Amino acid sequence: PKPQIPHSLSPNPKSLSPCLQEDGHARVLRRQAEQVLQGSRMLAVCQYSPMAEEDVATLRHYLRRHGIQLHFVLNEVLRPVLAQSRYRSLLPLLVCRNVVLASAEPRAREMLRVLRGVPQVTLLGACIDDTILSRQGVENFARLPPLEVSQGQTVAALSLPSSQTCSLLQRGPARLTALLDEHIRRLRGTGAAAEPPPGRGTGNQ
């Protein structure tokens, strides 16, 4: 079935106008933009070229499968919001027609995979976990292993020296015990050889 087009900050990319004439409508869009910024750990700015509505719906569908939302936002609405947020370094990317990709979790790898098949949407840069990244930076970030894998590797690296130290500490007492046991056996063997056999004396009674 054809995926439905969900509600966005601007429902139809063809309806984007260069300026807003209604202050009330602008305030509503600005509040919606603020909500998007506040709930996102990843915010990507892309350059947008016109697409058919069916293609936009398909793009939304594939992005939404990875928890990524596609928003059409007027630059004059988004600029003042970005200027007062931690994303203000993204302001130079707002040129011509832009779209914003937002997600509650960093999904750089999935985002790049979807955008590879959509030449009309070009990634310009992103902010991931309060870090501003260029397009190349996003690609480098996407090559990093998942957080769970990195945590496992770190724990393994930290636990290795302690396990080696424990092994060395345990090896010392075990070696000392073995040496003492061997020494006791030798002493017992020497004492048994020096003791005369029973029934034999040094003189006649």
Look up residue 15 and give its DSSP letter: G
Q: How far apart are CA 35 and CA 187, in angstroms?
A: 84
How far is residue 43's CA from residue 131's CA, in Å, rounded to a whole number? 10
Is the CB of residue 24 less than 8 Å from the CB of residue 79?
Answer: no
Where helices occur in the chain by DSSP H, the ranges are: 23-38, 53-64, 75-83, 108-115, 135-143, 147-194
**Between 98 and 16, residue with greater pLDDT:** 98
Q: Half-sphere exposure of residue 145, counting CA atoms within 13 Å on the CB side?
A: 7
Distance (Å, whole) CA 65 – CA 70:
12
pLDDT per residue over 23-81, tens digit each?
777 788 888 888 888 888 999 999 999 999 999 999 999 999 999 999 998 888 889 99
Determine the pLDDT at residue 20.
47
pLDDT averaged over the chain?
Answer: 79
Q: What is the pLDDT of residues 8-23, one digit of tens each?
A: 555 555 554 545 455 7
